């Protein structure tokens, strides 16, 4: 559970890079914590937005096994075990 990874994204994310990120995401284990650092990113291709949505769904899906998830849903306690995704960000004001 101490597997923490930080993905630091470049200043500009092109369409070619997005497919590489999708492939990297496939290798993430359920026990790993991944932080996306977009603090230096100022330009993104629209497909990168799709990647971010895909990554969120991938992380949610892989958080629990399907069997355990069904049991928790049946017990009506799934909300206590769903992964919390931090979508906060720092805004720099002028």
Q: Are 14 and 47 in contact, with CB atoms under 8 Å apart? A: no
Q: In the Cβ-directed half-sphere of 91, how many Cα atoms lie within 13 Å?
A: 4
Question: Total domain count for the chain?
Answer: 1
Mean pLDDT of the region 64-86 = 69
Residue whose token pair is 């629209």: 46
Provide the CATH number for the domain around residue 69.
Answer: 3.30.750.24
First to last CA, the chain: 39
What average pLDDT does the segment 22-34 reach? 82
Q: Is residue 30 part of a domain?
A: yes
Please check whether residue 86 lies inside any domain of the structure: no
CA 90 to CA 39: how far, in whole Å?
A: 8
- The whole domain housing 50 covers 4-80
Residue 22 counted as domain residue: yes
Q: pTM of the entire structure? A: 0.62
The more confidently predicted of residues 73 and 23 is 23
């Amino acid at each position: 559970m101490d597997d923490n990874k930080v993905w630091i994204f470049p200043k500009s994310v092109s369409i070619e890079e997005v497919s590489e990120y999708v492939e990297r995401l496939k290798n993430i284990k359920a026990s790993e914590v991944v932080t996306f650092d977009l603090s230096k990113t100022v330009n993104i291709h629209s497909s990168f937005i799709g990647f971010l949505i895909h990554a969120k769904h991938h992380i949610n899906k892989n958080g629990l096994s399907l069997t355990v998830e069904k049991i928790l849903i049946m017990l009506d306690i799934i909300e206590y075990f769903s992964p919390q995704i931090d979508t906060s960000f720092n805004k720099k004001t002028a």
